Each structure stands twice: as C-alpha cells, then as structure tokens.
Amino acid sequence: MALTWSLMAPLLVGPALASGEAAGNLGAEISLLWTLPFAGMLLSIAILPMVAGHWWEEHRHQLLVSALWAAPVLAYFGWMIATGHHAEAAEHGLTHAIEEYVSFIALLGSLFVISGGILLRGDLEGKPVINTAFLAVGAVIANIVGTTGASMLLIRPLLRTNSEREYVKHIPLFFIFLVSNIGGALTPIGDPPLFLGYLRGVPFFWTLEHLWHIWLFPVVVLLVLFFVVDHWFYGKEDIRHRQADKEHLEPLAIDGAWNFLLLGGVVASVLLLSPDPEVHDFRHYYAREIAMVALAALSVWRTRPEIREGNSFTYGPILEVAALFCGIFLTMIPATMILQARGAELGLTEPWQYFWATGALSSFLDNAPTYVTFAAMACGAIPECVSAEQLGTLSHSEVGHSLLVAISVGAVFMGANSYIGNGPNFMVRAIAEENGYKMPSFFGYIGWAALILIPVFVATTFIYLV
C-alpha cells in the first residue's frame, strides 16, 4: 500500500510542485487528496467498532489500522525528502508531528499512570447533588493537574458511586464535557493548547485573568443542566436500586496519596523542562518527556499493587489512545499544513468567527496544533506580531487580545464535541465501558454533544464574543 501511494505521489502534489517551482509553502501546493488518509482514519474510528467490535478491541488491530492509513503519508513525505521536493518543509512537518506525538503520549501517559496509583476509596450514594459535586470539583482541579489527571482521578469513584443505578448513560457524557475538556480552560496546565500558548509567550496567568468569566458560564449552565437531567433519571430508578445504593455506602478515603507529589513533579517538568527551540539536541528536547516517564515508572514501582487493583486499573485506555493517536498525528500532517497555508482564504476577522472555526477543527483535529494555526492567522491582524512564536505580543494587543481569547476557548471547549477532540475523552470512554457503562458510538456521541453543547456555545458567542 505504501509503495502504491509513493508511486502516485508525483501525480498528487499539484501543478506548482510538478512544474519544479522552488519549495515555498508546502501547504499551499499540496493536493487536497492528501487529506483522504486523515478522513479514512476518522471513519475507521467511527465505523469499525460498530461493524467489527470484537476485532477492534485488540490494540494491535487498532495500531494496524493506524499504520495502514499513516503509510501513504509517510511514503509521500519520505518521497519528498528523498527527491528534494520541498524536502525541508516535509522533514520539518514529519519530525514535528512525531515530536508532538511523543510529548502528547508522555504527558497523558504519565498523568494516567500516576493518577491510577491514587485510590479514592468509598462508595457514596448516587444522588444528583453528589454527582453534580463530583463534576464541579473535577472542573476546578482540571486546571491544577490537567484534564487528563482530573479525569483519571475522579472517573472511577464517580462510576463506582453510581454502579447500583440503572439510568446512568448521561453521567460519563457530562463528565467528558466538564472535566475532560471545558474545565481545563483557566491555566496552561489545564489543556495542551493553552500550554503551547504559554511556551510562545502568553503570560501564565493570562488565561485565568481573561477567560474565567467565559469559563464560568458553560460550567454553571452544564452543571445545572446535569443536575436537572440526573434528578429526572434518579426519579425513574427502581426502589430496589436505590435501596441497594444506600446499603453499600462507604466514606471517602485516599490511598496512595504520595502520588500527588509525582503529579506535582509532572507539572514541574512541564513548566521547567521545556526545550529551548534554539538547541537541537535529543537529550535536551526529550528531558521533559524522560522526566515524566521516570515519574510514572516510580509510581508503578512504589505504589502498592492493591491500590491499582482497587482502581480496576489497566493500561488498556492509554494503549488505545497511543495506538489511535499515532495514526491521527501522522495523517493530519497534510491537513494541518493546508490549513496553515490557506487559512487566510477563510476570511476570518471577528472573534466569534475564530471561536467557531477553531472549535470546529478542534473537534476532529488535535486541538493543540489547531490552536497554534489559528493563533498564527490572528497574528496577521496586528503589525507587531508576525508568527505564532510571538503570542505574548498578541495577548497584549487590543485587537489580538480578543482574537486570542476566542481561539483559546474555542480550542478547549469544543474538544468535547467528539471522542477524538481531546485525549482524555477516549480514556474516559474506555474506562466507563470497562466498568459496564454503555457509551454512545462515535457518531452517537457527536449527536449528543451537538444537542447539549452547541446551544451553550451559541449562547457563549452572543454573550461574550459578538
């Protein structure tokens, strides 16, 4: 398959490249046909679990699908590097995607493994007020330990609290909306797009200072909506289920609390070991990732096995994320390049336009590179900001400030629109299914997200961004 695509590569490059013009912006010349592997990857994630569910459950099969769709992109970029056609741009795009993938998995994996060593024991009564409190706490601490850390800390206790109930399908959905996504909009630690902004000069507390009111609106609205929905479903519960829930109560207690120190170490690694872009050295670049992996290994080594057993901890969710996002990161290289080169053709000028454009793509592309791409476009609106490496300048500009606000909340909020919008979404889905919760299909989830979230985002637009 890879050989076939590599032989077709010269036919799909486009007239400018075929005619031998000097390598400029690869994204401006690359054919839209090279977005097909990315579309195929997304369709595979959506369809295969429904038509070949048992086969799809094997992580090696998920990795095989990723490899098959990534192969043509790798062959195409390898062909360009080997022949000298846009070699520098192709090599940069490929290596950057690999570096981002390594950083992405190192961060998510370390947070997943370490938080799995913290057991929040207890089984509270699965009442609406308690469930709502879980979501509210999760939305806040997502800004301290990241959306991944908060998701892994709280999803299992929440599922356990409601294990005796029958009508629970809505609970993991709202958890993904609030804890795995929207909650993490207040600090660079909260969500990867904001961290990239911090690395590019946006002050650490800028997000808290300028996004808190926009963050508060959807959080409060969704908490109220969840309480109403959960209260309605709770009223439908059979009296036997309610009685069983009351008979299995256990006060909350924390085992493995020392892992909180390791979570702090991950946060410190993110803040203090970020690579200097001027230093091109493997050990320098991956010092942050090595530190995070070491902290995760320390957690596995020093945490009592019974704590992870109490969490029903398995590596399945992170292995699924690693297998699928490998294909996503590689196949989205052409799509991201095209967007970077041709994004100006979209004609975006107003904050609300940036909010919806960034959010729409963040729903299906990784939200971190989408954030950077639209931030680079916004830089063109002010003379003193010429690239996404100068977002500090953008954040201090009157015009750029409003655009950066819209881009930030669009990337973070709308990562909740699909399972692949943000890394923790897949993890929560996998953990919920492991615990017997029936989760919607890929398209089913998108339908529920559209029904619940889009009206909230429309209201957010009219209140804050118009």
Q: Determine the pLDDT at residue 343.
A: 67
pLDDT digits (tens, 9 = 90+) for 234-270: 888 777 766 666 666 677 788 999 999 999 998 888 8
Grade residue 390 by pLDDT with cuts at 50, 70 and 90.
low
- The better pLDDT of the pair 235, 113 is held by 113
Q: Determine the pLDDT at residue 386.
A: 57
C-beta separation of 114 from 261 below 8 A = no
Q: Is the pLDDT of residue 63 over 60?
A: yes
Q: What is the per-residue DSSP string for 338-399?
A: HHHHHGGGG---SHHHHHHHHHHHHTTS-HHHHHHHHHHHHHTTSTT--SGGGHHHHHHSHH
Q: DSSP label at 447?
A: H
pLDDT digits (tens, 9 = 90+) for 361-378: 889 876 877 787 788 778
Q: Determine the pLDDT at residue 149.
A: 83
| Residue whose pair of structure tokens reads 């009508």 in the numeric block | 167
Q: Determine the pLDDT at residue 9.
A: 40
Torsion of CA 98, 104, 106, 109, to 10 degrees: -130
Q: Is the pLDDT of residue 55 over 90?
A: yes
Q: Is the pLDDT of residue 284 over 60?
A: no
DSSP H or E run through 316: helix 316-342
Q: Determine the pLDDT at residue 11.
A: 38
Grade residue 2 by pLDDT with cuts at 50, 70 and 90.
very low
436's tokens: 């017997």
pTM confidence score = 0.78
pLDDT digits (tens, 9 = 90+) for 408-428: 999 999 999 998 888 789 889
Q: Determine the pLDDT at residue 275.
A: 62
pLDDT digits (tens, 9 = 90+) for 323-373: 988 998 899 888 878 876 776 677 888 999 999 999 998 898 768 777 877
- The better pLDDT of the pair 163, 118 is held by 118
Worst-scoring range by mean pLDDT, 1-5, 274-278, 317-321, 449-453? 1-5
223's tokens: 């908490």
pLDDT digits (tens, 9 = 90+) for 183-242: 999 998 888 889 778 867 788 889 999 999 999 999 999 999 999 999 998 888 777 766
* Interval 380-408 mean pLDDT: 78
Q: How far apart are CA 325 and CA 462, in angstroms?
A: 34
What is the Cα 427 distance to its own chain's centre? 10
Grade residue 23 by pLDDT with cuts at 50, 70 and 90.
very low
Across the chain, mean pLDDT equals 84
Q: What is the per-residue DSSP string for 11-67?
A: HHS-HHHHTTPPP--HHHHS-GGGGHHHHHHHHHHHHHHHHSHHHHTSHHHHHHHHH
Q: Is the pLDDT of residue 281 over 60?
A: no
Strand partners, 250: 123
Give the CA distances from residue 304 to residues 119, 264, 309, 416, in Å, rounded to whole numbers and listed in that order: 11, 20, 9, 34
C-beta separation of 228 from 430 below 8 A = no
